[in-house]
Structure 1
Amino acid sequence: MSTKPLMVYEMANNHMGDLPHGIATIRAIREACRGFEDEFDFAFKLQYRDLDTFIHASVRGRDDIKYVKRFEETRLSDEAFRALVAEMDAQGFITVCTPFDENSVTRIEAHGIHTIKIASCSFTDWPLLERIARADKPVIASTAGATLDEIDNVTSFFLHRGKDFTLMHCVAEYPTPDDALQVNQIELLRARYPGVRIGYSTHESPDNTLAVGLALAKGASVFEKHVVLPTDKYAANAYSADPQQIRAWLEACRRARAICGSGERYQPSAGERASLQSLRRGVFSTRDIPAGTPLSDDMIEFAFPPVQGQLTANEWSKYARFVATEAIPAGQPVRHAQVEETQLRGQVLEIVTAVKGLLKAGNVVVPGKSDLEISHHYGLERFNDFGLTMVTVVNREYCKKLLVMLPGQTHPEQYHQKKEETFVVLHGVLTLWLDGEQREARAGDVITVARGVRHTFKTRDGVVFEEISSTHDKHDSYYTDPAIAQNPSRKTWLTYWM
């Protein structure tokens, strides 16, 4: 399927019941589209009414009823409509038609028209919708005047029947004044029906080129516009665009599309990168750093301006490790060429993926927006051997946490002076040592650890367990290995990890 926006040109009754004029209109609009083929797909749309049954016998021939007069005056034969469809095909347009009665759906099928368009006035015409649903064709539907319940029902009706379905935001005022355009409805429809393509059927003044750009920016990808070819014999109406206005409309859409850019995160230009780099703070040594020394916060400072090739504050993070590959004198810029860099972010993402996998395996539900705490007691480099991940669900006078240990991990020995805690194993097997005494706990087992009891635990295949305790104080964990307390970077917290 094409990813280009689709422009649908609606002739309605502007063929004026005059076949040569209808063909001339199709050709003139095709010429107006020349040069835009790489950016847009184009369709042309007719309207079908089986006038001998659509108009009630009691009012046929009346010229005091506006639309009866209009429809009868612009009547075309079946042969003429076939000629218009053939011309649309010849000009490379996707063929579209709006039927207003069941017989017209049959005519659409007979004429080989590609797509059926449902007018707003027919949006909840259920006998007509049932007939359209039986046709093997994509469906586009305009929503002017419909309630959300009605849109829900019609959308469900077509999606349950497996239809290629598009909803069009539309306002049925001809022409539509600016303060009635309601372009924000496009966002509402996109959010409410994420599996449905959303478009914009326009009836504003044909000189208005702002609305189509706004609609595109809001996410519309199908656009419908009434068209006309004014002549000495046939005048334009107030809401149909002539070929020159169509060209200006396409130019506005092209510009809006360029301004909106990609839906993916954009790639900055070299100039933008250089400009940002020149405004960042550089990393400077505050003392002599011998070769082979891991850089730490107490050895460096951040200051402006940076020099070419210098490490910047933007690159100094808890996920980055830098080791000097040559001696760096005090007060000098720290350059990329003088350090060896190791990035640990990828390892953190691997940890998150593994934790999610264990939680899923244990059918453990994690409350939304819960922070994930990764404990890497001896650094991320040794996390696969020593570590644990933890979600704090609540921490008041009472506390509940979810703890996850990956296969092969050990949690170093610690104790608490204030907190008493109880472990409930949810998934896997946990081996514990309480004051040196070994125990093994499986799913469903409950173990209580009293205050002051030294405890350590490990798992062979991975484990998930709850910790239920009195209030947790971050200063109440005492490790028997003093090296752990001396590691200031032994925790990583993630908020958006679910």
Structure 2
Amino acid sequence: MSNIFEDLFIFEMANSHQGSVEHGLDIVHAMGKIARKYNIKAAVKLQYRNLDNFIHPDYVNRQDIKHVPRFMSTRLNYDQFSQIVDAIREEGMVTMVTPFDEDSVDWCMDQGIDIIKVASCSALDFPLLLKIAETHKPVILSTGGKTVADIDKIYNFMTHKSCEFAFMHCVAEYPAPMERLQLDFIDKLNRRYPHITIGYSGHEDPEDNTIPMLAVAKGAKILERHVGLPTEAITLNAYSMNPAQADKWVEASLNAKNICTLKKSDEKYISQEEIDSLHSLMRGVYLKHDVKAGEEIKREDVFFAMPCFDKQMTSGEFYDGVIASKDYKANDELHEKKKITDISLVRSVIHDAKGMLYEAGIALGNDFEVELSHHYGMQHFRQFGAIIINIINREYCKKLIIVLPGQYHPVHAHKEKEETFQLLYGDLKVTISGKDRFMEPGDIQTVLRGEKHSFTSKHGAIFEEVSTTHIKNDSYYEDEKISGLDPIERKTIMRRW
């Protein structure tokens, strides 16, 4: 892996450089001066959209659809963008582009762009992510408006595709209120994904340089701001920096690198305003042709375009095999939702389990077996069960047990096996022969042969189980509904996840 992300400053062109090549070149030259002054690794970021198919044909010339008039008025062609890309290289800076559709990814490849950036509104646009992953370019993904579960999903997708990538903490409000910046979330991202570079993309008051300093203190290795160049005819928006402000932003950030220490963080808040802001930029699913109720809808039957309306399926939600619940006409919005199946439930809990392992800093390697114990069915797994990772089973046995928040593993005993638990992460209540013990990380508890025991966790737990040899059918449950089941009915086994 390269270190292209480390200590990177990103200058994003404000308002698509007004759709002017000349103005864009002026911004590039201004940022190049700042990069040389401070001898920093800097990138100038552009935005690409193939407007011929990015916007639904019925809305191309509409003035009442958010963003469409701006996109159309600042439109540049491939050759015009190439002039700006060449100027960025001549200034000795990194080239970076945010593509919002698949055609734009092809432009990036043709121009040899160094880094591809994924905007927050596209972070769950899996058709677009797949196209980007196939480029094998370094990728930076913004996480504005995304829950921890969303980010886990993105992490797993990019990891499975063997991508070199980084995450940016971002609050997608323009400008972003100070009370919603939540810079502690940078700490959480660093803990949860210790091998991934984490950065911060800011939209706060351009005059406030305490924010980038705090972001650096929280562990941000990449910093990004919108930049522009005011003229007699151009006024910058409330979240974009002029060259003088950008200069001070870089200086403050470099000072922070010399004086900061890292702190811990907690959960993330996403405002409705942020969700609405991002949704206005998402691509919706539309029908290419008429479809009757009950017919199966495949990828070739749909296209993705903005705008995306309320309750419409987004491009990231689409999957092959959607069943139409009503008749649709060509160019209609698709209003279907994915059904919850055992497969989707399994995928959901596996993503949660992986996220807990990431945050706990526990590496599994490649040689293990995953067992989902769903005593009352997969639909009730988050209430009853556990995720058991079988690592070694010889004369001695080692397992890792993951208990999801609020999950309870029912009362049972073993006749042949003796086991000892050590809590590695989270909180755990173990009940043995009717007596409760509340464990903290590092605590050890032995369960003797024949002792009835159960366990549960309030916030989630990972504990190690070391025991004598594990023997199939050696778990005897107190509940006759469980004991009457064949083990294959209450277990799902996976070799890879």
Per the shorter chain, which TM-score range? 0.5 to 0.7
Structure 1: how far apart are the matches of 2:41 and 2:136? 21
Match of 1:11 in 2: 13
Match of 2:59 in 1: 59
Match of 1:218 in 2: 218
- For 1:11, give the aligned amino acid: M
- For 1:259, give the aligned amino acid: I
Distance 1:261 1:189, change over 3 A: closer
Can you list the C-alpha shifts for 1:243-272, whole angstroms capped at 9, x where unaligned? 100111011111111112799xxxxxxxxx
Consecutive unaligned residues in structure 1, runs of 5 or more? 264-361, 371-391, 396-498
- For 1:200, give the aligned amino acid: Y
Contact 1:10 1:226 (C-alpha < 8 Å) held by counterparts: yes
Q: Using the TM superposition, give the Cα deviation of residue 61 of structure 1 relative to its aligned residue in structure 2, in angstroms.
A: 1.8
Match of 1:436 in 2: none
Match of 1:415 in 2: none
Match of 1:159 in 2: 159
Decide which structure has the larger Cα Rg and report it: 1
Contact 1:96 1:113 (C-alpha < 8 Å) held by counterparts: yes
Match of 1:92 in 2: 92
Structure 2: how far apart are the matches of 1:83 and 1:393? 64
Can you list the C-alpha shifts for 1:447-484, whole angstroms capped at 9, x where unaligned? xxxxxxxxxxxxxxxxxxxxxxxxxxxxxxxxxxxxxx
Residue aligned with 1:154, SS? helix
Structure 2: how far apart are the matches of 1:54 and 1:230? 29
Q: Using the TM superposition, give the Cα deviation of residue 63 of structure 1 relative to its aligned residue in structure 2, in angstroms.
A: 2.5
Distance 1:159 1:12, change over 3 A: farther
Structure 2: how far apart are the matches of 1:80 and 1:41? 25
Match of 2:144 in 1: 144
Contact 1:13 1:71 (C-alpha < 8 Å) held by counterparts: no
Contact 1:175 1:204 (C-alpha < 8 Å) held by counterparts: yes
- For 1:248, give the aligned amino acid: K
Q: Using the TM superposition, give the Cα deviation of residue 25 of structure 1 relative to its aligned residue in structure 2, in angstroms.
A: 0.5
Asked if residue 242 in structure 1 is aligned to residue 242 in structure 2, the reply is yes
Asked if residue 24 in structure 1 is aligned to residue 22 in structure 2, the reply is no
Match of 1:187 in 2: 187
Q: Using the TM superposition, give the Cα deviation of residue 34 of structure 1 relative to its aligned residue in structure 2, in angstroms.
A: 3.1
Residue aligned with 1:226, SS? strand
Q: Using the TM superposition, give the Cα deviation of residue 30 of structure 1 relative to its aligned residue in structure 2, in angstroms.
A: 1.4
Structure 2: how far apart are the matches of 1:155 and 1:224? 21
Match of 2:71 in 1: 71
Can you list the C-alpha shifts for 1:90-117, whole angstroms capped at 9, x where unaligned? 1111111001111111111111101110
Q: Using the TM superposition, give the Cα deviation of residue 160 of structure 1 relative to its aligned residue in structure 2, in angstroms.
A: 1.5
- For 1:91, give the aligned amino acid: E
- For 2:82, give the aligned amino acid: R
Q: Using the TM superposition, give the Cα deviation of residue 142 of structure 1 relative to its aligned residue in structure 2, in angstroms.
A: 0.5
Match of 1:34 in 2: 36
Q: Using the TM superposition, give the Cα deviation of residue 13 of structure 1 relative to its aligned residue in structure 2, in angstroms.
A: 3.1
- For 1:26, give the aligned amino acid: V
Match of 1:130 in 2: 130
Residue aligned with 1:195, SS? coil
Contact 2:226 2:241 (C-alpha < 8 Å) held by counterparts: yes
Contact 2:6 2:197 (C-alpha < 8 Å) held by counterparts: no
Distance 1:121 1:394, change over 3 A: closer
Residue aligned with 1:200, SS? strand
Contact 1:11 1:46 (C-alpha < 8 Å) held by counterparts: yes
Contact 1:228 1:242 (C-alpha < 8 Å) held by counterparts: yes
Structure 2: how far apart are the matches of 1:24 and 1:162? 37
Task: Calculate percent identity across the aligned residue pairs.
Answer: 43
Match of 2:175 in 1: 175
Residue aligned with 2:140, SS? strand
Distance 1:394 1:186, change over 3 A: closer
Structure 1: how far apart are the matches of 2:422 and 2:171? 39
Residue aligned with 2:18, SS? coil
Distance 1:135 1:369, change over 3 A: closer
Structure 2: how far apart are the matches of 1:221 and 1:28? 23
Q: Using the TM superposition, give the Cα deviation of residue 14 of structure 1 relative to its aligned residue in structure 2, in angstroms.
A: 3.7
With 127-136 and 79-88 compared, the bigger mean Cα shift is at: 127-136
Structure 1: how far apart are the matches of 2:116 and 2:445? 55
Match of 1:209 in 2: 209
Residue aligned with 1:16, SS? helix
Residue aligned with 1:15, SS? helix
Q: TM-score with structure 2 length normalisation?
A: 0.52
Structure 1: how far apart are the matches of 2:82 and 2:423? 59
Residue aligned with 1:29, SS? helix
Q: TM-score with structure 1 length normalisation?
A: 0.52
- For 1:160, give the aligned amino acid: H
- For 1:182, give the aligned amino acid: Q
Contact 2:170 2:202 (C-alpha < 8 Å) held by counterparts: yes
Can you list the C-alpha shifts for 1:46-104, whole angstroms capped at 9, x where unaligned? 00000111111111122333411101110112111000100011111111100111111
Match of 2:392 in 1: none
Distance 1:262 1:178, change over 3 A: closer
Consecutive unaligned residues in structure 2, runs of 5 or more? 264-394, 399-419, 425-442, 447-497
Distance 1:4 1:63, change over 3 A: same
Distance 1:103 1:260, change over 3 A: same
- For 1:90, give the aligned amino acid: E
Match of 1:411 in 2: none
Q: Using the TM superposition, give the Cα deviation of residue 32 of structure 1 relative to its aligned residue in structure 2, in angstroms.
A: 2.4
Distance 1:52 1:250, change over 3 A: same
- For 2:109, give the aligned amino acid: E
- For 1:13, give the aligned amino acid: N
Residue aligned with 2:36, SS? coil
Residue aligned with 1:116, SS? strand
Distance 1:234 1:367, change over 3 A: same
Residue aligned with 1:44, SS? strand
Q: Using the TM superposition, give the Cα deviation of residue 15 of structure 1 relative to its aligned residue in structure 2, in angstroms.
A: 1.4
Distance 1:4 1:192, change over 3 A: closer
- For 1:244, give the aligned amino acid: A
Asked if residue 259 in structure 1 is aligned to residue 267 in structure 2, the reply is no
Structure 1: how far apart are the matches of 2:132 and 2:215? 28
1:441-456, aligned counterparts within 5 Å?
A: none
1:44-443, aligned counterparts within 5 Å?
A: 44-260=44-260
Structure 1: how far apart are the matches of 2:16 and 2:100? 17
Q: Using the TM superposition, give the Cα deviation of residue 29 of structure 1 relative to its aligned residue in structure 2, in angstroms.
A: 1.4
- For 2:30, give the aligned amino acid: A
Structure 1: how far apart are the matches of 2:69 and 2:251? 36
> What value does the CA root-mean-square deviation take over the aligned residues?
2.9
- For 1:10, give the aligned amino acid: E
- For 1:101, give the aligned amino acid: D
Can you list the C-alpha shifts for 1:112-137, whole angstroms capped at 9, x where unaligned? 10111000000101111111111120
Distance 1:81 1:394, change over 3 A: closer
Q: Using the TM superposition, give the Cα deviation of residue 159 of structure 1 relative to its aligned residue in structure 2, in angstroms.
A: 1.1
Structure 1: how far apart are the matches of 2:89 and 2:138? 17
Q: Using the TM superposition, give the Cα deviation of residue 393 of structure 1 relative to its aligned residue in structure 2, in angstroms.
A: 8.0
Contact 1:175 1:239 (C-alpha < 8 Å) held by counterparts: yes
Q: Using the TM superposition, give the Cα deviation of residue 8 of structure 1 relative to its aligned residue in structure 2, in angstroms.
A: 0.9
Q: Using the TM superposition, give the Cα deviation of residue 188 of structure 1 relative to its aligned residue in structure 2, in angstroms.
A: 0.9
Structure 1: how far apart are the matches of 2:111 and 2:120? 23
Contact 2:219 2:262 (C-alpha < 8 Å) held by counterparts: no
Contact 1:32 1:244 (C-alpha < 8 Å) held by counterparts: no
Residue aligned with 1:220, SS? coil
